[in-house]
Amino acid sequence: MARPLHPSACPCCNPGLMLLSEAFLMPRRMFLLGAGSFAAAVVLGGKTEAATPDQNQSHLAQANRFADAIYLNATVITVNDNQPTAEAVAVKNGRILAVGDRRTIEALKGSTTQVFDLQGKTMVPGFIDPHGHLFMQGIAATVADLLPPPDGTVNSIAKLQEKLRAWGQTPAAAKLGWIVGNGYDDTQLQEQRHPTREELDAISTEVPILAIHQSGHMGAVNSKALEMANMTAATPDPAGGVIRRQAGSNEPNGVLEESAMLAILGVFSKTAQIDADDALSLVQQGVKAYTRHGFTTAQEGRSSKAGYDALLAAATTDSLPIDVAVYPDYVNAPDAHTWGMGSTYQKHLRLAGIKISTDGSVQGYTAWMSQPFYKQPAGQPADYRGYGALTDEQLIDRVDSAFKNNVQAIIHGNGDAAIDQIMMAVRKATEQHGKGERRTVLIHGQTVREDQLDACKELGMVPALFPAHVFYWGDWHREMTLGPERAARISPTRSVLNRGMKVTIHTDAPVVLPNAMRISTLRKTRRDRSKWASSPILPFFLPIP
């Protein structure tokens, strides 16, 4: 059971193993669970410190302390080691008044108290996602859904084309001026490859098309999009990225990795017809995806200034029903520490720190490894190890700036070579500015080694791991990218706990759906996708009504 959090704890580095309750942070929601899925959401208060019988009796002595609402006949998971479960909850003025047995809580009933019989359902505090991308989740929920089973239906390039073509006929596509889809996974397509520009040209040669890979680190575009980005055979690969080429020539084949993908996204952001109302709608769609799965705190984990402004506008208009912690991209926004970093939420929004990315994804072969991949992708030499996003000097500069300005840095590193680079930069900044209470976070750490975990502990870093990879890409890592030995220990939560360290797990939404129960279950079972249909965890993969 997770322990209570310090009131100033930030969502990215909260202590505990599972996706954590927000109940000890501030007034929030609690959720009802039944039959393997969320049955309903109930607006409750925040603190779930157990109220003793004597304390509850003192409440009875105050007529104005009768509950506004009482929830009975439930299994209440308190996330409090001193009182792990209870039968009922009383609420007053949007805060939890008391938690305890039915008799004690019923004594708080007044003449205007509403009483709800939960009929044996389980009530839990709302969840925090320690790392994700709420704004991008809103985009994913709005554009063509290209996810493979079990979350979607796209298992072939023909199906991908069908989805994009259908979405291209919608009013949203007409207004946007682009055809966009999110979530395809080349490892799950029958062709076992990315779609090409020609296959996207078959949908349209007049409208730019962007198909975003499930990892978010790469994608495929048609010829029109390449033309708008001025990417030709003469265009060199950008630093920290790759423009994939057609066999036997330098002509782009439509598949873009890392910074090359970011260049296309830059063109998209400048040319797509998105107004303030559209941006607010994207925020709301992201919030909807999180709240339906029981989250009460989400993260915008690599925000642009435009994305932050959209969230700020949502907060200003009271359109954020959940808390959102924002971490701007500190490479593309090196002045982000001047935007008003603070330790408290204002209308559910908090500018919490900065984000730095040092490499790509393991499943996409763009993570930076210390040893070659198990089986190399087509066209790569036998010693191919992926690549980093930043030079040592660039990373040292960004981490040092974060430490100097005393803001929290969350740093993406999947490959162990990238993690070596992170440890080096954090160590230098620590030597220069002291350890402090910054709680620097290692995001993902897919292939983090034992010696690197020792360094994390020494430097006071918090690993935020991604065990959903075991399910979604476990068999791919075992057979293709990492091999059996390295794949067996991706996202090594037990290794972290054995050191007495804190660890969090996250969804990285929209890389995977923001489903707290699923992610928590996968952390425990470590089953891969090939076994999901016969698994007892199947209920956690069924759609939520």
Q: Encode pLDDT of 26-54 as tens digits.
A: 234 555 543 222 222 222 233 334 445 45
pLDDT band at 522 (very low <50, low <70, confident <90, very high): confident
User: Is the pLDDT confidence value at 334 over 50?
Assistant: yes
How far does the chain reach from its first CA to its final CA, in angstroms? 28
Is 99:75 a contact under the CB 8 Å cutoff? no
Residue range 428-437, pLDDT digits in tens = 999 999 988 8
Average pLDDT over residues 384-412: 97
The residue type found at 328 is: P
pLDDT value at residue 342: 80
List pLDDT tens digits, range 452-477. Answer: 999 999 999 999 999 999 999 999 99
The mean pLDDT value for 357-376 works out to 97
DSSP string, 520-536: HHHHHH---GGGGGGST
**pTM for this model (two decimals):** 0.85
* b/e 329-359 (16+ beta carbons within 10 angstroms → b): bbbebeebbebebeeebeebbbbbbbbbbbb
Secondary-structure class of domain 30-126 per CATH: mainly beta
* Weakest-pLDDT range from 281-295, 386-400, 516-530: 516-530
Q: Which CATH class, in words, describes the domain spanning 134-271?
A: alpha beta
Helix, strand and coil percent figures for the chain, each rounded to 5: 35, 20, 45
Residue 499 to residues 316, 410, 453, 461, 496: CA-CA distances in angstroms? 43, 21, 8, 12, 5
Structure tokens at 254: 């439509």
Question: Could you tell me the residue ranges of all domains in the chain?
Answer: 30-126, 134-271
Taking phi over 0 as left and psi of -120 to 50 as alpha, with beta for the rest, 525 belongs to: alpha
User: What is the Cβ-side half-sphere exposure of residue 244, based on CA atoms within 13 angstroms?
Assistant: 25
Q: Which residues pair with 256 in a beta bridge?
A: 219, 243
Cβ neighbours of residue 170 under 8 Å, at least 6 residues apart?
Answer: none
